[in-house]
Structure 1
Amino acid sequence: MYTITSKLLAHKKTLLITIFVLIFALAAYVRLDFLLSVNHKVSHDTLNYDIMVRQLLEKGIYAYKDTQSNAQVTPGYPLFMAAIYKLVDYQHQDPFPYIRYIQVVISLVTLWLIYSVARKLSGRTVSMIVLLISSVYPPFIWSNGAVLTETLACFFLMLYIRLQLEAFERRTRTLALLSGAAMGLLVLTRPEFLILIAPVYGLYWLWKKEFRLTLKLLLFTCIGTGIFLVPWVIRNIVTLHEVVIASTQVNPFAAGTYPDKNYNDGLVDRHGKTQMEVAKERLKIGFTQHTWQFVKWYTVGKLKYIYSNMYFGSGHSPLYRVLPSPLGSLLHVALVWFCPVALAASLRKWKQPLTLMMLIVAVMTVTRLAFVPEFRYNYTAMPLIIMLDAAAGIAILRWAWQKWTRSSNSRKGAVTYAKSTGKP
């Protein structure tokens, strides 16, 4: 009996490994095929990054959309680009194809991290479903063609989550330090994620109610984050004579004050005013004199912009259909619309690590309501939404199956009892 059980387990393990390898092979194929079979468009932001990186390498000036040093954008992605530019001799070769191929490698490592996090949170079945969906979810393929922050930011986010979960489980200073380091790299790539540290540790304290342990882990996470942020802050103090922890870019916040992106609504006279002054005046007038319009815009209006469509990368032609039309769009819509159900399901048993995914999605969604809404903002949330949806979906199916089997067994038991007693 022991031998038979061992053989069955060995065959099951072999089957799972085979499926895992096949899914990864599929993921690698569609990503490489995408890069090779379409013409990639270059976005306005990418062109600005290119000018910035060339200026940095040739003149030693770190500045975005300017020839004077500034801190308009954090240095994570520009330095990533600069390293590749130097490696491939950018003055004689186009560096963009190399960046795209490296991003494919990063995307595959991110895919493994997504699987690893899902496995830790919800087990083997859910993690395999998450892996399959993530391998063919179209934006995770299209983003590799965009010379933008999404692919790198998603990698650092999943690395941070994986290390943070491990730090919470093992409670060691080293893992807390490493999770902070991942957060630091993430913030240098996309600064809005810095806000996550406080709510994440707030949730952990609510789980454990161990103040000293929570404070110790939080301290080392902050130290790890600071290791990567402090050089950037010092640079800004020395060069710009001001303390800048993330970036000084105001435009995304200011642009978010225009309902339905109507930038010519004439609500405020912009002449002679800074972007921040205009933004503050617009918010004051908007919420006092056009209350319903602004409340709707800063809630359902921006949510619709952020989540209603897939992130398309920088664009390409002809359209690369990862899934037969319209399955890609339907997959995205299904994931987004099922997410509220998954969030509600996770709240039922909130003292579990899966709730951390819900918290991150909620915090980042609320944070992004303050800025101009773009489809690209849903990109880093989608791995977490896929995990939540898969976990909730499997839980619902298991509950339905158990209920059906219990009902079926009860009916069979009643029939057996009736036959044994001779009663109709």
Structure 2
Amino acid sequence: MFSLSEVSRPAKRFLAVCIALVLVLSCIIVLSYNNYFLLGDLVKRNNDDVKYIHSAKLLLNQGILAYNSGEQPSAFIMPGMPILLAGVMAIFGQDDVGINAFRILQCVMQAFSVYLIFIIGRRVFNTRIALITAAICVLYPPDYFSSGSILSETTFRTIQLLLICLAFVAMDKRKTVWYILIGLLVAVAAYFKPHATLYPAIFFILWWKQRTPWKDIVKYVTAMAAVYILCLLPWWIRNMITFDKFILFTNSGGSPFLLGTRIHGALPPAGFFVEHPEYDPKTVFQGADSSAVTKGLDIIKYGFVHDPLNYIYWYTLGRWVELYIHPFYSRPFWPITRPVMNVLQMIMMAVSMIGLVWALIKHPMKRMLPLLLTLAYFTLIYQPFVAFNRYGYPNEIILFLFAAYLIDQLIVMRHKEPLLKANQGGTGIR
């Protein structure tokens, strides 16, 4: 699947140009704009990116893994991002050179993602659609912002694309070694975003469609679970030693489930606090995860009873809008302003969704199923939780495949029309 041996020379050249353009343009943009892409202040440490930088430096200098806790050890976030950033800083230094080296690493990941989406597009559709998707990646500004930001989205998107590739290979080869690699990659993904943990559940649908024997399913599940557990053990052991308790992933003070109840960041309806006097508008979204689920459920129950239309929208279409309609483009760069990008994003998502519906009607489901299940998983996993453009960004490159599919279908139809008219003229049919 990863080989390009059967790809024509012109297609290889076009792909190589797209990959080179993404790499070169990414490097030029991130080095030109430098710390402009930071969302927080390095001194105040008031956003995720600058907190990651502080965590990486603390890990290197004092061997302490902390986030949002000063210099005290914490399990507020998964450690993937601080460890990766610290690894780069250990080589290139802890000043701007080290930070920019990490940005360059992300530029390489962006370029590699173009190759991966080409491989996936060619496997699901054809070479032409894969090349159109690669061209879209060259022209998509948020990819360059993502390269410059000190956040986990570029890394996670690369891992997600690799998971899709391995899913195709595993279903084709039917060998345990591929599921071992999937278990390893899921564990790596979980070190950045723990919700990736349940991704292997999509294989139960794939195995059912492929009529995989139960003994093989047990073997594959055991392999994935064993590798995953082995990879997460260092995190669990560290938390047991540090905090004297088992922490599966994190013990952050803010609950994604509770925060997800806030419609556009607003408080619950005023009547909620009358019906639930045990909660205060100033503190309802504060506190530990242990009480957050109860709070969230109370807000949801009240909302669906007293403001059903808003809450039905928020937990269905509203989540999709938050994930995909707002571009991951917090620091615009020349010549694309944020208002322009907002319009472009809406156009791209509209084209992608039309292409998705068209593909569901016209294209063989069997070829698309691993791709569709991945897209569905990493969309639906956010339905009960807080969702915004950062979380939707890794999926957008998958949606661009369907935009490319629609573009390709329109091109094919346009070329067929003159040919059909010519044939009709030759046979006397008008």
Q: Distance in 1 between the 2:401 and 2:225 partners?
A: 27
Is the counterpart of residue 80 in structure 1 residue 84 in structure 2? yes
* Partner residue, 1:42: 38
Q: How far does residue 400 in structure 1 lie from its aligned partner after superposition?
A: 6.7
Note the aligned Cα RMSD (angstroms).
Answer: 2.9
Q: Distance in 1 between the 2:121 and 2:328 partners?
A: 22
Is the counterpart of residue 99 in structure 1 residue 112 in structure 2? no
Aligned partner (choices 46, 54, 57) of residue 57 of structure 2: 54
TM-score (norm 2): 0.83
The code of the aligned residue for 2:237 comes to: I
Q: Distance in 2 between the 1:247 and 1:408 partners?
A: 66
SS class of match (1:381): helix
How many residues were matched structurally?
400
The code of the aligned residue for 2:246 comes to: V
Deviation sequence 1:149-197 (CA, Å, 0-9, x none): 0111111111111112111111111112112211111111122222221
Q: How far does residue 299 in structure 1 lie from its aligned partner after superposition?
A: 1.9
Aligned partner (choices 122, 130, 133) of residue 127 of structure 1: 130
Aligned partner (choices 74, 89, 93) of residue 93 of structure 2: 89
Q: How does 1:112-261 map to 2 (within 5 A)?
A: 112-198=115-201, 200-212=202-214, 213-249=216-252, 250-261=254-265
* Partner residue, 1:293: 310
36-45 or 69-78: which moved more?
A: 36-45
TM-score (norm 1): 0.84
Q: How does 1:343-422 map to 2 (within 5 A)?
A: 343-348=356-361, 351-395=365-409, 397-398=411-412, 405-406=419-420, 408-414=422-428
Contact 2:323 2:393 in 1 (8 A): no
* Partner residue, 2:11: 16
Q: Distance in 2 between the 1:325 and 1:41 partners?
A: 18
Q: Distance in 1 between the 2:178 and 2:82 partners?
A: 28
Distance verdict in 2 for CA 1:323–1:126, change over 3 Å: farther
SS class of match (1:95): helix
Larger Rg: 1
Distance verdict in 2 for CA 1:221–1:410, change over 3 Å: farther
Q: Distance in 1 between the 2:55 and 2:241 partners?
A: 20
Q: Distance in 1 between the 2:339 and 2:38 partners?
A: 25
Is the counterpart of residue 29 in structure 1 residue 43 in structure 2? no
Q: Distance in 1 between the 2:357 and 2:343 partners?
A: 22
* Partner residue, 1:422: none
Q: Distance in 1 between the 2:418 and 2:226 partners?
A: 52
The code of the aligned residue for 1:282 comes to: I
Contact 2:146 2:153 in 1 (8 A): yes
Distance verdict in 2 for CA 1:54–1:184, change over 3 Å: same
Q: Distance in 2 between the 1:408 and 1:224 partners?
A: 60
Q: Distance in 2 between the 1:123 and 1:180 partners?
A: 28
Q: Distance in 2 between the 1:241 and 1:104 partners?
A: 40
Contact 2:351 2:406 in 1 (8 A): no
Distance verdict in 2 for CA 1:144–1:410, change over 3 Å: same
Contact 2:153 2:394 in 1 (8 A): yes
Structure 2: any 5+ residue segments left out of the alignment? 40-46, 274-278
Q: Distance in 1 between the 2:234 and 2:364 partners?
A: 38
Structure 1: any 5+ residue segments left out of the alignment? 1-9, 419-424
Distance verdict in 2 for CA 1:62–1:352, change over 3 Å: same
Is the counterpart of residue 308 in structure 1 residue 325 in structure 2? yes
